[in-house]
């Protein structure tokens, strides 16, 4: 679908503006990249697998032959990779950074490269490290920072970091997105041009990739159900697109699908729920990481 009616209602100029997308090789990140390339943006793909990034770049170039696309290696489940990528990203003058990368329901007991629970370690802790690494540069460049939360954050309760591993994998995912909402408010207090959005519900490879811990039959049925009853990833990515292009963004609002229960539909602005307004998470995270590092040293 081309979504001409949606695009024609917007007022923006993306020509030669540099936009970095984490997790741009598939799903929402790839669909967002196609939307942005349609309007001559310059894309930096920050992806864990350069092989899959090259394949995605080739698919994009088959549609937009003159597209400007660069790639950097970036694994949000590795502090070392995040720190190396941060050094590279500092060389770009970014119009926007879209924090799209994330995982859902990994295999049981999988950990990050730094021995953290994988879902929250990737979706929130790795993202926090990236954005605090880049904070001063993003502020100086007035980069638009787009954080991608989820509908399920609304149903999560806030838990301390020490409680993470006692939660089910579904609850960890919801909590990771609630943490992202807190990160959004912290970055606003730091003076960043931060935007919050969620894509609703759609079918992407987040539930069907090889690293998923879901049983194969559940993964297949879930993918088919979402394909039939929810909107396409290309439409879901319009929430991220609007977050990139909107001027004079009201930071008390977030961008969500306009349909019933914000499950699907074209994006619109809605008031951010009060439960999302946490601004002490980064400090508590650093304390948690220090204690965990001390514990690991003692156990060696």
Rounded-to-integer distance, Cα 89 and Cα 137, Å: 10
* Cα–Cα distance measured from residue 35 to residue 236, given in angstroms and rounded to the nearest whole number: 11
- Are the beta carbons of 138 and 192 closer than 8 angstroms? yes
According to the model, what pLDDT value does residue 278 have?
76
Better-scored residue on pLDDT, 27 or 211: 27
* Paired tokens of 85: 């990528």
pLDDT at 24 over 70: yes
Averaged pLDDT, 162-175: 94
* Token pair recorded at residue 92: 């770009």
Q: Mutual orientation of helices 169-189 and 281-299 as an angle, nearest 10°?
A: 130
Q: Which helix (H) or strand (E) holds 105?
A: none
- pLDDT value at residue 248: 93
Pick from 155, 158, 151: nearest CA to 182: 158
CA dihedral 89, 280, 167, 106 (to 10 degrees): -10
**Average confidence score pLDDT of the chain:** 91
Euclidean distance between CA atoms 94 and 103, whole angstroms: 25
Alpha carbon separation from 17 to 24, 69, 74, 244, 248 (Å, rounded): 17, 12, 21, 11, 18
Name the burial class of residue 258, with classes exposed (0-12), middle (13-18) and buried (19+) by CB atoms within 10 angstroms of its CB. Answer: middle
Asked if residue 72 lies in contact with residue 46, where contact means CB atoms within 8 angstroms, the answer is: yes
What is the C-alpha to C-alpha distance for residues 229 and 82, in angstroms, rounded to an integer? Answer: 36
Q: What is the mean pLDDT of residues 273-292?
A: 89
The tokens describing 35, both together, are 């939307």
Q: What tens digit of pLDDT does each residue of 225-277 get?
A: 455 446 799 999 999 999 999 999 999 999 999 998 899 999 999 999 877 78
pLDDT band at 221 (very low <50, low <70, confident <90, very high): very low
pLDDT at 214 over 50: no
Quote the DSSP letter at residue 117.
B
> How confident is the model at residue 209, as a pLDDT?
52
Least confident of 47-51, 97-101, 234-238, 278-282: 278-282
Lowest mean pLDDT segment, chosen from 6-15, 76-85, 196-205: 196-205
Q: Find, among 6, 70, 8, 4, the residue nearest to 33 by Cα.
A: 70
Tokens at residue 69, please? 């696309």
Bridge partners of 194, per DSSP, are 145
Q: What percent of the chain has pLDDT over 70?
A: 90
Angle at Cα 95 formed by Cα 5 and Cα 38, nearest 5°? 35
Rounded CA separation 238/257 (Å) = 9
At 105-145, the pLDDT tens digits run 898 889 999 999 999 999 999 999 999 999 999 999 999 99
Neighbours of 159 (CB within 10 A): 16
- pLDDT average, residue stretch 163-167: 94
Averaged pLDDT, 69-95: 98
């Amino acid at each position: 679908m081309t979504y001409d009616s949606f695009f024609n209602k917007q007022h923006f100029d993306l020509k030669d503006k540099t936009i970095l997308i984490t997790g741009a090789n598939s799903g929402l990140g790839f669909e967002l990249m196609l939307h942005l390339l349609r309007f001559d943006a310059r894309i930096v793909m920050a992806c864990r697998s350069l092989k899959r990034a090259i394949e995605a770049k080739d698919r994009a170039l088959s549609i937009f032959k003159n597209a400007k696309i660069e790639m950097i290696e970036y694994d949000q489940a590795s502090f070392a990779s995040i720190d190396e990528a941060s050094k590279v990203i500092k060389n770009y003058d970014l119009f926007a950074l879209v924090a799209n990368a994330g995982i859902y329901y990994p295999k049981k007991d999988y950990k990050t490269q730094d021995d953290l629970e994988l879902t929250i370690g990737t979706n929130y802790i790795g993202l926090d490290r990236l954005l605090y690494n880049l904070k001063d540069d993003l502020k100086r460049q007035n980069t638009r920072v787009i954080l991608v939360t989820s509908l399920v954050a609304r149903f999560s309760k806030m838990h301390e970091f020490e409680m993470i591993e006692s939660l089910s994998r579904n609850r960890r995912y919801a909590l990771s997105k609630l943490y992202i909402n807190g990160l959004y408010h912290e970055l606003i207090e730091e003076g960043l041009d931060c935007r919050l959005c969620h894509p609703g519900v759609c079918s992407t490879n987040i539930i069907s990739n090889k690293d998923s811990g879901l049983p194969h039959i559940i993964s297949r049925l879930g993918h088919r159900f979402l394909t039939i009853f929810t909107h396409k990833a290309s439409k879901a990515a319009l929430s991220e697109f609007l977050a990139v292009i909107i001027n004079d963004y009201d930071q008390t609002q977030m961008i969500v699908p306009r349909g019933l229960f914000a499950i699907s539909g074209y994006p619109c602005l809605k008031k951010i729920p009060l439960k999302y307004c946490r601004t002490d998470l980064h400090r508590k995270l650093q304390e948690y990481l220090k204690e965990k590092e001390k514990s690991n040293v003692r156990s060696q």
